Amino acid sequence: MKQLFSSLHQYYEEMISIRRYLHENPELSFHEVHTPAFIANYHRKLGLEVRERVGGRGVVATIRGSRPGKTVALRADFDALAIQEENDLPYKSKVDGVMHACGHDGHTATLLVLAKVLTEMRDQLQGNVVLIHQFAEEVAPGGAKPMIDDGCLEGVDIIFGTHLWAPTPLGDILVRNGAIMAAADRFEITIQGKGGHGAEPHHSVDAIVIASQFVTQLQNIVSRRLDPLKSAVISVGHFEAINPFNVIADKVELKGTVRTFDKEVQGLIEKEIELLLKSVCEGSHATYEYSFKRGYPPVVNHKKATQFIADIACNVPEVKNVIECPPFMIGEDFSYYLERVPGTFFITGAKNPNWEVAYPHHHARFNFDERAMLVAAKTLGMATLNYLNTSK
């Protein structure tokens, strides 16, 4: 592994440069144009086989080893978020209202430079490496499924992915066998009442009061309808009634998310939301519209692949701790890859030890310690080399 490590250190400044260029030039999910072109051009300069527009806007590059063998896939996402950056950085986003606030710029830079190093080492590869650069992870239906449908996993024996994680200290690697991230679903509700004068509520059906009652009672589904040994989250993130201050609202729009790990729990919550909504509205003489949109399934890691990564990470010099973590309620469409082939998705700690505050992902002041990219590249690189050169 000396060559892998020394080469990654040699190209570390390039990794930083790529990450900062991407950070300055973010693109929203399903609107990525320049980012996939940049990625494809980088791989072509390495002399790799490159497919563009995979599943829509994805890029897939392949490193073919000098000898036949297994095929490892490595995945990085490259879309940004609709957030106005508040960081005062020399590489601050140049795009108004768009920001890399989740580390995808770092994921891409990590994989590009790792591809460069593995290409230089291909005479040592017994098998192939497929580099999956995925668009639109942040917005369902996401980019993973259409890329899979377009053949990005053809011939792949195992897949590895990682997420740079700002709340977790630099030097920590988090792994988990089984479900590590939740199914992420979305619901949308319109409650229709009858508007009227604010001084005469008895002539109206107040949609705001009805919606408020519904939101308050919604949490009873988790606390009273669900087995307490099973996990779920229901959150209303959007509550809107566009109305003057002295007019009783005739309509309220609600939007929210449901996070679960279990299909039965997922189905139960979908039904219970409507049962509650129906009873609240009928009891208040209102009507409603309800839609429940299933998003990404849970990310369920495979046991052997997870243990394999845990063992590899223990031998990365910069890794201080390999920790079995509890599951996260966040969603990730890496789940679709793991439904098709064995693999694992792990967390690479990216919190600078000198930072008093590590802003969370999707925050306007999000950032991460760039040294985490080197840790991720070493872990993924070691895993690739060990798997290809020891598998039969």
Asked which of 296, 315, 341 is the last residue of a domain, the reply is: 296
Q: What is the pLDDT of residue 26?
A: 98
Pair (311, 166) in one structural domain: yes
CATH number at 207 reads 3.30.70.360
- Give residue 85's identity as a one-letter amino acid code: E
Say if residue 163 carries a ligand binding annotation: yes
Q: What is the pLDDT of residue 1?
A: 83
Pair (220, 87) in one structural domain: no
- How many domains does one find in the chain? 2
What confidence tens digit (pLDDT) does each residue in 16-63 have?
999 999 999 999 999 999 999 999 999 999 999 999 999 999 999 999
The pLDDT mean for the chain works out to 97
Q: What is the pLDDT of residue 321?
A: 98
Residues in contact with 257: Cβ distance below 8 Å, sequence separation at least 6, in sequence order: 184, 185, 186, 187, 233, 234, 235, 237
Q: What is the pLDDT of residue 58?
A: 98
Q: What is the pLDDT of residue 392?
A: 61
pLDDT at 279 over 90: yes
How many other CB atoms sit within 10 Å of the CB of residue 113?
Answer: 27
Pair (193, 286) in one structural domain: yes
Span between the terminal Cα atoms of the chain, in Å: 20
Asked which of 257, 274, 296 is the last residue of a domain, the reply is: 296
pLDDT band per the 50, 70, 90 thresholds, residue 154: very high
Q: Which tokens is 242 given?
A: 């566009």
How many other CB atoms sit within 10 Å of the CB of residue 320?
Answer: 14
Pair (323, 277) in one structural domain: no
pLDDT band per the 50, 70, 90 thresholds, residue 325: very high
Q: Give me the mean pLDDT over the 337-353 stretch.
A: 98
Pair (269, 189) in one structural domain: yes
Q: Give me the mean pLDDT over the 144-163 stretch.
A: 98
pLDDT at 251 over 80: yes
Pair (25, 140) in one structural domain: yes
Q: Which tokens is 361 given?
A: 């992902």
Pair (306, 284) in one structural domain: no
Q: What is the pLDDT of residue 349?
A: 98
What confidence tens digit (pLDDT) does each residue in 188-221 have?
999 999 999 999 999 999 999 999 999 999 999 9
3-class SS of residue 83:
coil
Asked which of 237, 266, 296 is the last residue of a domain, the reply is: 296
Say if residue 23 carries a ligand binding annotation: no
Q: Give me the mean pLDDT over the 281-303 stretch.
A: 97
pLDDT at 273 over 70: yes
Catalogue the active-site residues.
Answer: 79, 137
Pair (165, 309) in one structural domain: yes
CATH number at 136 reads 3.40.630.10
Pair (153, 213) in one structural domain: no
Residues in contact with 329: Cβ distance below 8 Å, sequence separation at least 6, in sequence order: 181, 182, 231, 233, 259
Say if residue 34 carries a ligand binding annotation: no
**DSSP result, 25-79:** S--BTT--SHHHHHHHHHHHHTT-EEEEEETTTEEEEEEEPSEEEEEEEEEEE--
**What is the residue whose two structure tokens read 């580099």?**
131
Distances (CA, A) of 302 to 63, 150, 180, 309, 344: 24, 23, 10, 11, 6
Pair (309, 283) in one structural domain: no
- The share of the chain scoring above pLDDT 70, in percent, equals 99
- How many CA atoms are closer than 13 Å to the CA of 5, on its beta-carbon side? 9
Pair (37, 83) in one structural domain: yes
What confidence tens digit (pLDDT) does each residue in 99-134 have?
999 999 999 999 999 999 999 999 999 999 999 999
Pair (160, 271) in one structural domain: no
Provide the domain limits for residue 74. 2-181+298-390
Q: What is the pLDDT of residue 359?
A: 95
Q: What is the pLDDT of residue 390?
A: 85
What is the pTM assigned to this prediction?
0.94
Distances (CA, A) of 142 to 77, 287, 337: 10, 32, 12
